[in-house]
Amino acid sequence: MKFTKMHGCGNDYIYVNGAVEQIPQEKKPELVRRLSDRHFGVGGDGVIFINPSTEADFEMEMYNADGSRGEMCGNGIRCVAKYVFDKHLTDSRKLDIVSAGQIKHILLQTENGKAVSARVDMGRPELTAGKIPVTADRDQVIDEAITVDGKEYRMTCVSMGNPHAVVFVDEVVQLPIETIGPGFERHERFPNRINTEFVRVIDRAHVEMRVWERGAGETLACGTGCCAVVTACVLNDLTDRKVTVHVRGGDILIEWDEQEDTIYMSGPAVTVFEGETDICD
């Protein structure tokens, strides 16, 4: 099976042309786990299959490293757009890509005939608790207390097509995320598990973030997480609507357009290498 290793701000996935590589659905979770292993496989935060679509220009079929299916991936969708443009599967810089029924509109920036970054219309943030989903007594969860492993935190919950809990902290770099993150991910208040962003506000236009992603653990970046972070910042009056989010793998620019009520995400997309692997048992 041929594949391409790509990343957006260090959030790395293995990309496979699903129109060429015909993998049975029932075999994909185990294949994803094998390929994602950083010691015995290719290594990555998961695997993304790029498929034909009747709803959009292409479909993104995204899996986390543990083999579970993900609904949306902001860094991943930028890389999908780069993949199809660079490999001449399209000659358009404007693309519609669907993932789990959600269509996102993407504008590529190119240099010397290759895509280098993308601006994605990520849509309107979902704040209704039952649709995120998060168990709550109120319709929205904004600056609400949650106790995880005996310690109380304050969280704001947002869905960007996948669920997020944003937690503001005083210190990000030294945060023991590997011990805190799993408690959030599998907390009883999150029926579909949760992605958790730990955020330090620098000023009205800059924040620093680390993320624990469900099914993958800590990743160097999370595009949908950055969107959720800026949503939470605005709702808590901590930043303006245009914010640079500093993640471990780089910077992602997020703008929550007030008039359109949609979030735009801009960031890089990078090809690391091409490869081929034997997928037979």
Q: Is the dihedral of CA 34, 38, 41, 42 positive or negative?
A: positive
Superfamily of domain 129-260: Diaminopimelate Epimerase; Chain A, domain 1 (3.10.310.10)
- pLDDT exceeds 80 at position 37: yes
Write the single-letter amino acid at 145: A
Q: What is the mean pLDDT of the chain?
A: 97
**Mean pLDDT in residue range 10-19:** 98
Q: What was the pLDDT predicted at 109?
A: 98
For residue 200, name the pLDDT band (cuts at 50, 70, 90).
very high
73 noted as active-site residue: yes
- Give me the catalytic one of 222, 226, 227, 233: 222
259 CB neighbour count, 10 Å cutoff? 5
Q: What was the pLDDT predicted at 279?
A: 82
Collapsed DSSP state (helix, strand, coil) of residue 254: strand
Instruction: Give the CATH number of domain 2-122+268-276.
Output: 3.10.310.10
Q: Which residues are 246's β-sheet partners?
A: 208, 251
Q: What was the pLDDT predicted at 281?
A: 57
- pLDDT exceeds 60 at position 128: yes
Q: What was the pLDDT predicted at 193?
A: 98
**Mean pLDDT in residue range 143-151:** 98
Q: What was the pLDDT predicted at 206?
A: 98
CA 198 to chain centre: 15
Q: What was the pLDDT predicted at 21?
A: 96
Residue 252: HSE in the Cβ half-sphere, 13 Å Cα cutoff: 34
- Residue 198 backbone phi and psi in degrees, to 5: -105, 120
79 noted as active-site residue: no
- Give me the catalytic one of 9, 73, 79, 227: 73
- pLDDT exceeds 70 at position 44: yes
- CA-nearest of 21, 32, 17 to 86 is 17
Residue with tokens 């939470």: 232
- What value, to the nearest 5°, has the Cα angle with vertex 254 and ends 251 and 259? 165
> What percentage of the chain reaches a pLDDT higher than 70?
99
**Mean pLDDT in residue range 226-246:** 98
CATH 3.10.310.10 region(s) of the chain?
2-122+268-276, 129-260
For residue 280, name the pLDDT band (cuts at 50, 70, 90).
low
Residue with tokens 């506000």: 201
Segment 249-279, tens digit of pLDDT: 999 999 999 999 999 999 999 999 999 999 8
List the beta strands (DSSP E) in the chain: 2-8, 11-17, 46-51, 58-64, 69-70, 94-99, 102-111, 114-123, 144-148, 151-159, 163-168, 195-203, 206-213, 217-219, 242-247, 250-257, 262-268, 270-276
